[in-house]
Each structure stands twice: as structure tokens, then as C-alpha cells.
Amino acid sequence: MNEFIWIIIAYLLGSIPFSLIIGMIFKKIDIRNHGSGNLGGTNAVRVLGAKYGVPAGLLDISKALIVVYLASSGNIDFGYSPIYLGVAATIGHCYPLFAKFRGGKAVSTTMGTLLGFSPVIGMVAIVIAIIVILVSKYVSVGSTVLGLSALLIMIFNPNYYSSVIACSILFVFIIYRHIPNYKRLANGTENKLSFGKN
């Protein structure tokens, strides 16, 4: 029962639409009506500019990081891999209760999950993803590599076997939410890395 309660809490935290809130307060716009149409960090930066988009992305990361870290450090009683709380937060981020279930693409909360679970794994995966983004100029490619690299690290490290399934779920979410991006990559219409001016 305690685990179920924490999963609900994690989902509700993930459902907080920071990009929507910041966009409405500072720009008077719903970013779901602009850019790629989702509440992810990348779209927030593209639509709102780095000044507002970066804080929105960091807040999205924190939604999963906080609850996963609390479970990883033993501050809350959760009998399974803490990454499952990250999965719950990611479901909330992608299908937010507080934003009519129209959310992001699982990347920010996956980052937060990895950092909260293991800062080393999180940073390694993020650095690899950033390198891929800078080289390819495609955020969607780097986002996919983020999930894949973290999963491979856990698969090949016996210390993390109990978390492989949970990490696999995160990776599947990233892939599923990026299917439109993969289609655009295939036909050459995917947007390359760019930032708003404000």
C-alpha cells in the first residue's frame, strides 16, 4: 500500500506542467499551440526562449529527481527499484492530469530519474546525449541515446540488474513519444537544434 501511495505522489508531481505554467505567466501563451505542440523542455526553449525554457526544463527534471532521490537514499519506504517512481513521474509528465493529459516526451523526467537514482549514471548518459545532439544537431536522436546509454550501463552492471526492467520502461516511453520525430528524420523534415531569441 505504501508503494502505491508513493507511485500516485510521483505521478502527480510529474503532472505539474511547468512549461505550460511558465509560458502562461510570462508569455501569455500555451506552448502546446506552438512549435512541436508538446510540454517538453526542448519545445519550451524553442517557443519561450532560453530565459524561460531552461528553467522550465530544469523544473521538469526535478519532478522525478526529488522523489527518486528520496527513495534511493532511504528517506521514504519504497520496496522496489526507485526508478519505478521515475516511471510514474514520467507517465505524469507525458500524460499530465493537470494539463488535459497533453504533456512532454519523457526526456526531462528520465534525466531526473537517472540523476536521482545514480548521479554517475545520470551524468554519463546526459553527457553522451549532449555530444550526440551537438554532432547530429537533432535533439530527438540525443534523447533516444540518453535512454539507451543508461539502459546499457545497467544491463552490463550486475549491481543494477533489479532496475533494468524499470529503465527499459523509460526507454520505451522515450521511443514511443518520439515516433513522429523518427518519421520526420526518415523523410528529412525533422527540426535541427535551435533556440528562441527571447
The larger pLDDT score, comparing residue 94 to residue 196, is at 94
Q: Are 86 and 26 in contact (CB under 8 A)?
A: no
**Is 196 inside any structural domain?**
no
**Mean pLDDT calculated for residue range 50-55:** 94
Predicted TM-score of the model (pTM): 0.91
Check residue 37 and give its pLDDT. 87
**Is 198 inside any structural domain?**
no
CA distance 37 to 46: 11
**Is 193 inside any structural domain?**
no
Check residue 2 and give its pLDDT. 86
Confidence of residue 194 (pLDDT cuts 50, 70, 90): low
**Mean pLDDT calculated for residue range 9-37:** 94
With 0-12 CB in 10 A as exposed, 13-18 as middle and 19+ as buried, what is 74? exposed
Confidence of residue 42 (pLDDT cuts 50, 70, 90): confident
**Is 192 inside any structural domain?**
no
Span 57-80, pLDDT tens digits: 999 999 999 999 999 998 888 889
Range of the domain at 144: 2-187
Check residue 1 and give its pLDDT. 61
CA distance 15 to 148: 24
Name the helix (H) or strand (E) containing 176: helix 164-177
Whether residue 196 has pLDDT greater than 50: no
Whether residue 34 has pLDDT greater than 80: yes
**Is 85 inside any structural domain?**
yes
Whether residue 197 has pLDDT greater than 70: no
What are the residues whose beta carbons fall under 8 Å from the beta carbon of 6, sequence distance 6 or more?
67, 71, 76, 78, 85
Total domains, the chain: 1
Summary mean pLDDT of the chain: 93
CA distance 197 to 169: 35
